[in-house]
């Protein structure tokens, strides 16, 4: 760990890097704590209570993409606006 602090000393050009090193170490510990929390929340998402909702939230966009519905929704307004109906009809 001292070797990493030496890299910081070399980058900053000063020996006074203690506070910055402590901030870096605290940030690393915070990220590690949130990483565990992230995996726990992901496990909750696929728990028996929510698995149907998770499946639907993935299946609906995939179905739209595979059926071409996205293209219809994107180009539909352009297509309909190009169909000019004469006023005399």
Q: Clarify whether residues 55 and 35 are in a common domain.
A: no
> Which structural domain range is residue 60 located in?
50-89
Whether the CB-CB separation of 54 and 38 falls below 8 Å is answered with no
Same domain, 56 and 88: yes
Do 37 and 58 lie in a common domain? no
Q: Are residues 57 and 85 in the same domain?
A: yes
CA distances 49 to 3, 28, 44, Å, are 48, 33, 8
Verify that 41 and 56 share a domain, yes or no: no
Instruction: Please give the tally of structural domains in the chain.
Output: 2
pLDDT digits (tens, 9 = 90+) for 30-83: 877 777 777 777 788 788 888 888 899 889 889 888 888 778 778 888 888 888
Q: Is the distance from CB of 44 to CB of 52 less than 8 angstroms?
A: no
pTM for the model stands at 0.39
Cα 29 to Cα 45: distance, rounded to the nearest angstrom: 25
Gap between the Cα atoms of 21 and 17, Å rounded: 6
Q: Are residues 24 and 40 in the same domain?
A: yes
């Amino acid at each position: 760990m001292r070797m990493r602090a030496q890299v910081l000393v070399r980058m900053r050009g000063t020996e006074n890097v203690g506070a910055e090193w402590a901030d870096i170490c605290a940030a690393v510990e915070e990220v590690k704590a949130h990483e565990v929390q992230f995996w726990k929340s992901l496990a909750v998402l696929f728990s028996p209570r929510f698995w149907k909702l998770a499946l639907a939230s993935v299946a609906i966009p995939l179905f739209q993409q595979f059926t071409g519905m996205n293209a219809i929704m994107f180009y539909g307004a352009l297509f309909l606006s190009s169909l000019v109906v004469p006023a005399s009809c």
